[in-house]
């Protein structure tokens, strides 16, 4: 357990130094908190497609079939940003289930394969902000997302 000394010579124990806060024993695709810091970089925007704010509840199905509830915060034709209670390893292939951003599109729910490309712990969002890139999304889903991104204002928020 990591120890930090304050200015008065007293020490405080920091349990997260050994990953105890984020430790998860149910799968192989979750990192300890201490493993995440070398590759996490919040200042780099890796998306190439235009994105738009999109708030919705969603589910991630991991390779071990575990379902993780997440919150979507933005979407583009190439991927989606979500907040997860778990830190999922980069390059993990999963399936995301989320409602469509446009109600009258003829599709109610997207179920898309996605790959984790980014993960940063966010105290403000109370979880890990994950960037997911869609893997071969159907053309109908891409068209609905592009239509949503091009609309003015913040729809269905």
**pLDDT attached to residue 23:** 39
Domain assignment present for 75? yes
Residue 14 covered by a domain: no
Residue 157 has pLDDT above 80, yes or no: no
Domain residues for the domain of 112 are: 50-150
Q: Examine residue 31 and state whether it is found in any structural domain, yes or no.
A: no
Is the pLDDT assigned to residue 68 strictly greater than 70? Answer: yes
Mean confidence (pLDDT) of the chain: 76
The answer to whether position 5 is within a domain reads no
User: Is residue 106 predicted with pLDDT exceeding 60?
Assistant: yes
Q: How far apart are the C-alpha atoms of 107 and 38, rounded to whole Å?
A: 40
Domain of 139: which CATH number?
2.40.10.220
What's the rounded Cα separation, in Å, for the pair 15 and 11? 13
Give the count of domains, the chain: 1
> Is there a domain that residue 120 lies in?
yes
Residue 37 counted as domain residue: no
What pLDDT score does 49 carry? 72
- Rounded Cα–Cα distance for residues 24 and 121 (Å): 15
Give the torsion sign (CA, 35, 37, 43, 44): negative
Write the pLDDT tens digit of every residue in 20-55.
Answer: 344 344 444 454 444 443 344 444 555 567 888 989
pLDDT at residue 120, rounded to an integer: 95
Whether residue 86 lies inside any domain: the answer is yes
């Amino acid at each position: 357990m990591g120890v930090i000394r304050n200015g008065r010579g007293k020490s405080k124990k920091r349990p997260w130094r050994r990953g105890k806060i984020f430790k998860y024993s149910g799968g192989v695709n979750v990192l300890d908190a201490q493993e995440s810091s070398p590759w996490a970089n919040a200042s780099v925007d890796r998306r190439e497609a235009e994105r738009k704010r999109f708030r919705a509840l969603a589910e991630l199905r991991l390779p071990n079939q575990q379902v993780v509830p997440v919150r979507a915060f933005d979407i583009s034709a190439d991927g989606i940003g979500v907040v997860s209670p778990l830190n999922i390893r980069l390059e993990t292939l999963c399936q995301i289930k989320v409602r469509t951003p446009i109600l009258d599109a003829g599709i109610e729910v997207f179920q898309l394969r996605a790959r984790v490309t980014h993960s940063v712990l966010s105290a403000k969002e109370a979880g890990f902000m994950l960037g997911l890139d869609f893997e071969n999304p159907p053309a109908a889903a891409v068209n609905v997302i592009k239509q949503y991104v091009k609309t003015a204002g913040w729809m269905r928020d």
